[in-house]
Structure 1
């Protein structure tokens, strides 16, 4: 009998513990149903609310976003092949340069503000100033100098996109550091609830997100317009060289200096 009791004693203890745990669990469940915990509904925040929660660095990020949009609009309207190398202007210059009519070519350039007109105007004005013979080397040297100036003029704006893409994440990081400092100050003051840290953490995350939203399109636009400008500058150099060859291959004024 004693041996039988020792065998079934662990089973009796386990059954008793199971019954006690079941009873306690049911009572806790009933209490939760009678007094349910208060639920916090998620609030939808507007863009203005997010801007306000982002802190003071959001003002600088907003300025960079406005500058980025402005420069992208400028580059999209100006850095275009038809704007910098108008087909109608190129045909008019081909006719004038083939006839070696310098005055007609300069007159055509005066009525246009494209890069091609600037290049040919400077080429004919500088290389022909005070000399009677236009040498191909002089024309190509002045054309290359003017093309470099035109490329630099537009790259100034394109490089601003690269600067904005680099500065925006740094401002976002600054906002992140500012928000975390605010959260640690709350912790040092004795705050212990999650809601006490929500403001600082929200500022840290919002500024980072908005900074990346500005930086990513700015970086993409930088590479797009940089490659586009390089391609157009290559076409501009080819067009200028073609016009110079047409001018040199003519008669009269286009004779080489050795022939003179």
Structure 2
């Protein structure tokens, strides 16, 4: 019985809430509904800037989701191919074959391995140092692209705040020009501008920062994996 009451309680509460809401809706006077386009128009020019900023932010985010991924940065089979070539020893023929294998591969791993192989004549330590420098450059290259998303997301927050302040200033100007009393309808436009700009800026920032941290972690993980794979390949050149 207690279980039945506990199970029925949420249903009863939901039914009561729906009844109260239905009664309130029936007793409330008919109001004019505003479309999304009406809200955008009333929000003013800052809202249009936010919409333009959202297009840029999410276009970059979607582009990088499909282009900055492990299969692109660390192609499948590339490391195994170089491993198989160098397995019999880092001879001149093997090194040349490894260079041909990574030639034209513009991935993160391909660029690191190619740069290290070009320093073959200078020994293992120079090859390792070169791989570290190129790996850092590759990491910074991809992070500089992803960082644009963070910059646009942060800008959206500040731009939304600017719209908020602008709307509040307009509301105070209306109040100061009518000291005898202000009709709430006269403040609706200014307050609406403030709230719509705030909501739009936060919406862009929340989604943009999510994509930024997701892509940043992906780049960091790929850079770490590329460093480990390159270290394994360079072990063939270590002097025993």
User: How far 1:49 sits from its partner (Å)?
Assistant: 2.0
Specify the alignment match of 2:100 in structure 1: 107
Specify the alignment match of 2:63 in structure 1: 74
Structure with greater Cα Rg: 1
The reply to whether residue 175 of structure 1 matches residue 168 of structure 2 is no
* Structure 1: 5+ residue stretches without partners: 1-37, 250-255
Deviations 1:37-90 (A, max 9, x none): x94414141x32222121111122122211211221222122211111112211
The reply to whether residue 220 of structure 1 matches residue 210 of structure 2 is yes
Specify the alignment match of 1:239 in structure 2: 229
Aligned-partner SS, 1:87: coil
Separation in 2, partners of 1:84, 1:136: 24
Separation in 2, partners of 1:107, 1:230: 27
Could you list the structure 1 runs, at least 4 aligned residues long, displaced by more than 4 angstroms after superposition. none
The reply to whether residue 149 of structure 1 matches residue 160 of structure 2 is no
CA 1:189–1:142 in 2, change beyond 3 Å: closer, same or farther?
same
Specify the alignment match of 1:252 in structure 2: none
Aligned residue pairs total 207
Deviations 1:144-172 (A, max 9, x none): 01110110011012212221222111111
Specify the alignment match of 2:152 in structure 1: 164
- Relative to the length of structure 1, the TM-score reads 0.74
**Aligned-pair Cα RMSD in Å:** 1.9
Separation in 2, partners of 1:77, 1:236: 19
Contact 1:97 1:244 in 2 (8 A): no
